[in-house]
A and B are shown apart, each in its own frame.
Chain A
Amino acid sequence: MAATATYPPPPPYYKLYKDYIENPKSAPEPPPPIEGTYVLFGGSYTTDDVLPSLEDQGVRQLYPKGPNIDFKNELRSLNRELQLHILELADVLIERPSQYARRVEDISLIFKNLHHLLNSLRPHQARATLIHILELQIQRRKQAVEDIKRRREEAQRLLKEALGTLDGH
């Protein structure tokens, strides 16, 4: 008694490829890569991955905006603010315990800003990794060129030697 459903049949496109062995051009080409947004299993995804800014998520941005952000100093100042807020929360809990909510919100805001800053460092890291890989590849190629030159010269030398030995007879 099989209560499970059978698998769906394969899509009917396979009939179009009947003569593929004889004539590879008689069958349709594979579809081109998708660009932009697409829907997959009911969820929509995008090929253009970009980190959404804090305002898009409705979170206030504590560090200054601008083209070049000084990541190290901003991270350090956010860390100091975080410690101050934790101390503030401890004080509030002692004196006015019912007003903890605002302090807890501030602390979570600082954490969100910290994580957003760290995430926006990732593209920089990706480019640095790419630079490193390219440098390594250039170094390997130069080494290979040197090796081939050396081997060719050695081969020429051996052939000349052999010629000399044969002529010496």
Chain B
Amino acid sequence: MDIISQLQEQVNTIAALAFNTFGTLQRDAPPVRLSPNYPEPPANPTEDTANVAEQPKLMSSTLVKAAKQFDALVAALPLSEGGEEAQLKRIAELQAENDAVGQELQRQLEAAEKELKQVQELFSQAADNCLNLKKPD
């Protein structure tokens, strides 16, 4: 994939990771005690407490790694300085050079075809002479 598409994919990946991080944390967070008047919330041992503590670390490190990857991709952008005008100028130069080389190629091609015809003509004459056993002029 070209670098810009990779960058776009990376942006989408970062967005998806951010959603998943917040969504998972919101879904799995244990209830918290709001006020000293109310009794402590029942600590259900259904969710592994180790899991709940590990997940934010894992997910945040994945997010940061994705952001670092994005920075690495940005550094790899082959942006040649000079902007639009420099590129257009280079395109015009290349087109002129392409035309010149194309004409040279055309000339060489025509000369080569002419020589080919001459050789073919001579060869057919020689072959005819051989067939008819005529002495060559």
Please list the residues of chain A having a beta carbon within 8 angstroms of any beta carbon in chain B: 67-68, 71-72, 75-76, 79, 82-83, 86, 89-90, 93, 107, 111, 114-115, 118, 121-125, 127-128, 130-131, 134-135, 137-138, 141-142, 144-145, 148-149, 151-152, 155, 159
Contacts and interface: CB of A to CB of B under 8 A. Distances in A.
Contact of B18 (A107, A128, A142): A107
B44 interface: no
Contacts, number: 91
Given A127-B88, A137-B98, A138-B101, A151 B112 contact: yes
Contacts of B14: 82
A145 B108 contact: yes
Contacts of A127: 84, 87-88, 91
A82 B98 CA distance: 46
A54 B35 CA distance: 47
Interface stretch (B2-10, B45-53, B127-135): B2-10
Q: Give chain A's interface secondary structure class.
A: helix
Q: Give chain B's interface secondary structure class.
A: helix
B95 A134 contact: yes
Given A141-B101, A141-B105, A145-B105, A72 B75 contact: yes
A115 B8 contact: yes
Contacts of A72: 74-75, 77, 79
Given A127-B84, A149-B108, A86 B18 contact: yes
A145 B11 contact: no
Contacts of A137: 98
